[in-house]
Chains A and B, each alone.
Chain A
Amino acid sequence: MADADHAGWAGRSVIRVVPPARPRKLAKVPFVELADGRLQGVVSSGSDIERVYVSSIASGTHAYHCSTNNNRPCGGLRGAPCKHLEALADEAVVQYGIDRVARYLRADVAAEADSGAELLAGLDARHEPTPAAVVFSRFLRHLSYLEVPATTTPLPELHWFPATGAGR
């Protein structure tokens, strides 16, 4: 969902429809997104620099899962969300704001809630395995943008996408 309660959107060409991500530290959770009906992302392993965990929480059902990118279930899932899911929720709240995350997950959160832990606490969550491959390949696709060469070709279409001070 975008912040669409602006008046006068209908007759304007240049508006920031998707609010920009708010800055956050990426070292622990390099990738978070609200897509495919899930809050999903990738969490770096604290012990092995080569390993990452793929964590997700489904919109609506609130089914959660966490595994390595090779589909080995996370050892931290013992009837409750693991620390990777907590980190994912925390960083999602920083990046998108708790309202946007809660709205996407269709979750009820207390009015004063502002952390991932409070978001998770408000879910009637249960564990349900989901394949990690889709999320992991989306992460790789995400990273591949950084390998696209810079360009000096003018892109006039970007006049529709002004940089804003939001998130400053």
Chain B
Amino acid sequence: MLATQLAALTGTAPTGLADALDLVAGLDAALTRGLARVGEEDAAALAALAAALATTPLGDAVTEAVGKIVAGSVTEEHLAVLAGARAALLGAGQDALLGQFDAALGRSRSPWTPASPAIPAETAPPRAGARAWLHEVAVAGWLGVDHELVAAAGTPVEAALAVPASRRLAVLLDGFAAELRACVPVAALPQPPVRRWGDLWARAMLLAQDATPAADAGEPVSGRLLPLGVDVHEHATAVQVQVHAILEPADGGPPRLVRTAVGAAKVDTIVGPAVWRLLGAYPVLRQALAQRRGLTVTDLPARGADLLWRDDRARPDEPVDPFAAARVLLPSAVAVAGAPLDRHPAVIAEPVLVEGHTVHVDGDEVSLALDGHRIEVAVDRLPACGPLTPALVAASTACLGLLRWDGGRWLLQPLGVRATVKRKPVDAHAGDWADGVTDARVAKAEAKAGDAVAVLTERAGRLLRR
């Protein structure tokens, strides 16, 4: 990324974004107080939301839903429309921000190709239970949530987790409910995370609709996959490793910016490098990450930018330096727009390479500057399952990362750094420990703590199914 590109990116916010976020904030305030009895201020915010969407295809539905909710009739259908309205605003926000990014960086992005039309599923029990719970939560408001209501999420989570097709819903609900449980009573929080909970609630409400498009099989792709870096996500009961990579298609054509994800269920006591042990089903991918190798993939199903990982359709290839791959291929790689319903500023994760920067450290905050133009580093997003630390970022001469947008500004999430430590160049990438910890000190601490996965698996084998 060049200084001029960073300047163009961080210069001015896209037109209309602040207005859209104001409308979202109005809805979030109503959800905080609950929709059981909508006060004047919240009624005005909901009316403003309806007015803003009046000329869109959602217009009539939002106007009707808002009218009914303000009058005291809150049904699941009305709430689904509110969730849709919120998602539409934030989806437009993502479009605007990505447009700004693409213009600043010169990244080309092909449009999303719609899958075959969604076939409405029969009413699946996990979804109905989830909708009912989300309805209760919205009526109560974050401030009205109590332990009993939080505990009631257990049944829909368990039901959704049992069905692979509702995994997304299950993982989201579980993470959301765990936060509410940890925060009850919400009134005691100095500042509840209202934007975040609005996001989680609305996304869950959309995933809980029976008309949620079934995932299609995807187009098969083949070629050479060059990993750029690893983004790790986790909450108490889930972990996901998302690999950002460049695909050189076997049939020629420009390099494609793609990603592939593998994930597992876990429990809260499995943390740090131990999470890699939950991904034992994907040895080829793990070894490629640990050894910084490319992969040859054959007929991996692709949906937009997402390749659906199949370990048996991949074999290890030559070593790849992620910095070199990014330097050479990233400028010409073609990105793909995300699925319409998945759009939100929080899912923006665009690989970039920053070199020739200066580092500025101010307390816990680290920022990188190119020719005086600064970008804040998301140092809180350096996963404990890998070797990246704030100190390494501070010592970096090159940083391969994801551009993110949150809290009104662009952020850089490092996935790999080249740093100077004791006058020697050191490369560290988030996926370095995918096949085992390579840092002697951390490995020793790990060995001392014992194998959490093994202990719990032994306990499960002995105590479950009795």
Q: Which A residues contact B (CB, under 8 angstroms)?
A: 1-2, 4-18, 20-27, 30, 32, 35-37, 44, 49-50, 52, 95, 139-168
Contact = CB atoms under 8 A, between A and B. Distances in A.
A165 B382 CA distance: 5
B233 A140 contact: no
Given A14-B196, A143-B459, A5 B272 contact: no
Given A11-B195, A165-B380, A143 B203 contact: no
Closest 7 CB pairs of A and B: A158-B233, A163-B383, A148-B265, A163-B232, A143-B460, A13-B346, A157-B172
Contact of A155 (B171, B232, B259, B463): B171
B35 interface: no
A145 B234 contact: no
Contacts of A150: 262-265, 278-279, 281-282
B289 to A, nearest CB: 15
Given A17-B179, A165-B389, A152 B381 contact: no
A161 B173 CA distance: 12
Interface string B224-241: 000000011111111110
B406 A14 contact: yes
B269 A145 contact: no
A9 B147 contact: no
Among A30, A95, A167, the one with the most B-chain Cβ atoms within 10 Å of its Cβ is A30
B167 to A, nearest CB: 6
B234 A159 contact: no
B213 to A, nearest CB: 13
Contacts of A1: 182-183, 188
Nearest to B383: A163
B164 interface: yes
A24 B449 contact: yes
A74 B193 CA distance: 43
A134 to B, nearest CB: 11
Interface string B370-388: 0000000011111111001
B17 interface: no
B321 interface: no
Contacts of B416: none
Given A6-B191, A145-B265, A164 B182 contact: no
Among A44, A143, A163, the one with the most B-chain Cβ atoms within 10 Å of its Cβ is A163
Interface in B126-181: 147, 151, 154, 158, 161, 164, 167-168, 171-172, 175, 178-179, 181
A150 B240 CA distance: 10
A66 B48 CA distance: 56
A13 B196 contact: yes
A52 B193 contact: no
Contact of B238 (A13, A24, A25, A155): A155
10 contacts: A12-B195, A143-B464, A150-B263, A153-B263, A155-B167, A155-B168, A158-B234, A163-B233, A165-B388, A167-B271
A30 B308 contact: no
A52 B390 CA distance: 41
A17 B193 contact: yes
A152 to B, nearest CB: 4
Given A27-B450, A35-B181, A146 B455 contact: no
Interface in B225-278: 231-240, 242, 259-269, 271-272, 274-275, 278
Task: Assign chain B's interface to a size class.
Answer: 35 or more
B283 interface: no
B267 A145 contact: yes
B389 to A, nearest CB: 7
A145 B237 contact: yes
Contacts of A52: 463
Contact of A160 (B200, B266, B450): B200
A32 B263 CA distance: 24
B181 A165 contact: no
Contacts of A44: 459
A75 to B, nearest CB: 21
B460 A21 contact: no
Contacts of A160: 175, 196, 199-200, 346
B189 A50 contact: no
Contact of B196 (A12, A27, A149): A12
B32 to A, nearest CB: 10
A18 B264 CA distance: 19
Interface string B451-463: 0110111011011
B347 interface: yes
B464 A144 contact: yes
Given A12-B407, A18-B182, A150-B262, A161 B196 contact: no
Given A12-B195, A153-B261, A154-B242, 6 more contacts: A25-B450, A26-B455, A143-B267, A150-B265, A154-B306, A165-B380
B306 to A, nearest CB: 5
Contacts of B262: 150-152
A159 B349 contact: yes
A164 B242 CA distance: 15
A27 B456 CA distance: 8
B194 interface: yes
Contacts of B281: 150
Given A140-B463, A145-B265, A152-B310, A13 B199 contact: yes
Nearest to B308: A152
A116 B232 CA distance: 32
Contacts of B240: 154-155, 158
B344 interface: yes
